[in-house]
Amino acid sequence: KKVLVVGGVAGGASAAARLRRLDESAEIIMFERDEYISFANCGLPYYIGETIKEREKLLVQTPESMKNRFNIDVRVNSEVISLDTRKKLVTVRSKDRGMYLETYDYVVLSPGARAIKPYIEGINSKRILTLRNIPDTDSIKDYVDNQGVNSAVVIGGGFVGVEMAENLKHRGVDVTLVEAAPHVLAPFDTDIVAAVEKEISDNEVQLILNDGVKSFKDLENGVEITLNSEKKLKADLVILAIGVIPDTGFLKESGIKLGAKGHILVNENMATNAENVYAVGDAIEVVDFVNKQNTAVPLAGPANKQGRIAADNIAGLNTTYKGTQGTSIIKVFGLTAASTGNNERTLKRLNIPYKTITVHPAAHASYYPGALMMTLKLIFSEEGKILGAQGVGSDGVDKRIDVIATVLRLGGTVTDLTELELCYAPPYSSAKDPVNMAGYVAE
């Protein structure tokens, strides 16, 4: 059995490693367009911010370690430029080997998604950078380390934008964060995100909401940014983080079905419409676990799980993917914000009736030192079924959202939250955990 894997990071590397565990004899070849495989995308902002100090720590696996550990033939600097599903072969453009064809029995596509770079005047300035991989990280870090960056404008208040704003600030850079929507971090509702925005401002990042970029202009030593409001900003460096689009251009002629925005369409086995071609990760449309509509959720957890499921199916196990909840978390200076399931905006858009409650419990027993309040919001159906949750606070938010995410995954209700027996001693929680409290109030 000969299996080709396109893309060597989250989804691709998971699929390849799982397949090897299931099938000792399969020939597995992994193609990666860039120089690096299996790196820690999620750690990149923290390396730029120097919380993660050693660059090698970002490189989880190397081609050599994948060969030694899993007997996988990793080919870096090798881009798959087309896929012929009839003849079952791919065309590869390699730095060292030029163009060549490779046949397959099975393919796993995990090409991910790249940063959106819209056609805006001046966008090609070399001071405007995006962040996806190690070379992008090296460029941004080189600017900050060696080229006297005193000011930066981050365009886009999503997860990557907010993390970059914090990490540049950590490096002593003067940062402005520009968001076109009324608030940052789209997965959260306005009431929850207000605390995040205050934290951003309190940490002296200038926050501009409801304003997008109209144009850029290179200056002698910097770049001028004109916003839609005609407000002008000046910076030594611009980070563009306004979202991602699937990296699926090479599939245009393949006959593989793509969605409206270019995401690969798959079934619950991660199979595309083409025989023996599977797809996973940021490049695919998934089913929203709560509302069952198709959506795209570019997160590492789902990509890894889908990679494993694609490998299972290639090995003959009939494993299925049951949808993405979008459970996510972000550190914003001293705060943590986390969410799972649907937010109010999504439910309203789909006309799904819901109720919400919000509680403000302490993260642990209030008489034990350091008990800080959190905000926990629960979104549930008329019958009490959990549809989503969001939390923000300085401590203990991650575990509460993870617990609720688990109950949501298992189809649970607000009554189930009241019945959960969670660990308690004063330094960690209260006899009525914040999750129980949310359940009591919702019931």
Q: Closest distance between ligand FAD and the C-beta of residue 7, in Å?
A: 3
By CB under 6 A, what part of segment 104-123 binds ligand FAD? 110-112
Taking CB under 6 A as the criterion, the residue among 212, 255, 262, 301 binding ligand FAD is: 301
Q: Is 311 in the site for ligand FAD (CB under 6 A)?
A: no
Rounded to 10 deg, the angle between the 10-22 and 300-314 helix axes is: 30
Taking CB under 6 A as the criterion, the residue among 104, 216, 250, 321 binding ligand FAD is: 250
Q: Closest distance between ligand FAD and the C-beta of residue 375, in Å?
A: 21
One-letter amino acid at 246 equals P
Segment (H or E) for 403: helix 397-409
Which pair of tokens denotes residue 271? 């199979």
Q: Is 132 in the site for ligand FAD (CB under 6 A)?
A: yes
Rounded to 10 deg, the angle between the 190-202 and 159-170 helix axes is: 20
| 155 touches 120 (CB < 8 A) | no
Site string for ligand FAD, 205-244 (x = CB under 6 A): ----------------------------------------
Which pair of tokens denotes residue 240? 């563009």
- Of 34 and 197, the one with the shorter C-beta distance to ligand FAD is 34
Q: Are strands 106-109 and 277-279 parallel, antiparallel or unpaired?
A: parallel
Q: Is 308 in the site for ligand FAD (CB under 6 A)?
A: no
Q: What angle do CA 140, 146, 151 make, to 5 degrees?
A: 65
Which pair of tokens denotes residue 333? 């200076």
Taking CB under 6 A as the criterion, the residue among 5, 6, 108, 154 binding ligand FAD is: 6
By CB under 6 A, what part of segment 397-426 binds ligand FAD? none
Residue 244 to residue 265: CA distance in whole angstroms:
17
Q: Is 90 in the site for ligand FAD (CB under 6 A)?
A: no
Secondary structure (3-state) at 38: coil
Residue 39 to residue 125: CA distance in whole angstroms:
27
Residue 74 to residue 17: CA distance in whole angstroms:
12
Q: Closest distance between ligand FAD and the C-beta of residue 159, in Å?
A: 6
| 11 touches 307 (CB < 8 A) | yes
Q: Is 298 in the site for ligand FAD (CB under 6 A)?
A: yes
Helix H, strand E, coil C: the string for 61-94 is CCHHHHHHHHCCEEECCEEEEEEECCCCEEEEEE
By CB under 6 A, what part of segment 25-64 binds ligand FAD? 31-34, 41-42, 44-45
Question: Can you say whether the dihedral through the CA atoms of 218, 221, 224, 225 is positive or negative?
Answer: positive
DSSP assignment string, 88-124: TEEEEEETTTEEEEEE-SEEEE---EEE-----BTTT
Residue 40 to residue 60: CA distance in whole angstroms:
7
Q: Closest distance between ligand FAD and the C-beta of residue 369, in Å?
A: 30
- Of 110 and 436, the one with the shorter C-beta distance to ligand FAD is 110
- Of 31 and 380, the one with the shorter C-beta distance to ligand FAD is 31
Taking CB under 6 A as the criterion, the residue among 303, 335, 337, 362 binding ligand FAD is: 303
Q: Closest distance between ligand FAD and the C-beta of residue 378, in Å?
A: 22
In 3D space, the residue among 147, 139, 164 whose CA is nearest the CA of residue 43 turns out to be 164
Q: Closest distance between ligand FAD and the C-beta of residue 230, in Å?
A: 31
Q: Closest distance between ligand FAD and the C-beta of residue 214, in Å?
A: 25
Which pair of tokens denotes residue 98? 């030029």
Taking CB under 6 A as the criterion, the residue among 4, 154, 299, 405 binding ligand FAD is: 299
Catalytic residue at 423? no
Site string for ligand FAD, 276-295 (x = CB under 6 A): -----xxx------------
Taking CB under 6 A as the criterion, the residue among 26, 58, 128, 131 binding ligand FAD is: 131
Going from the C-alpha of 378 to that of each of 4, 112, 202, 407, the distances in angstroms are: 43, 31, 27, 12
Q: Closest distance between ligand FAD and the C-beta of residue 10, in Å?
A: 3
In 3D space, the residue among 155, 124, 131, 127 whose CA is nearest the CA of residue 227 turns out to be 155
Taking CB under 6 A as the criterion, the residue among 80, 129, 205, 337 binding ligand FAD is: 80
Q: Is 435 in the site for ligand FAD (CB under 6 A)?
A: no
Residue 195 to residue 202: CA distance in whole angstroms:
10
Out of 1, 2, 40, 42, the active site residue is: 42
Site string for ligand FAD, 142-181 (x = CB under 6 A): ------------------x---------------------
Q: Enumerate binding residues for ligand FAD (CB under 6 A).
A: 6-7, 9-12, 31-34, 41-42, 44-45, 79-80, 110-112, 131-133, 160, 247, 250, 281-283, 298-301, 303
Residues with a known catalytic role? 42
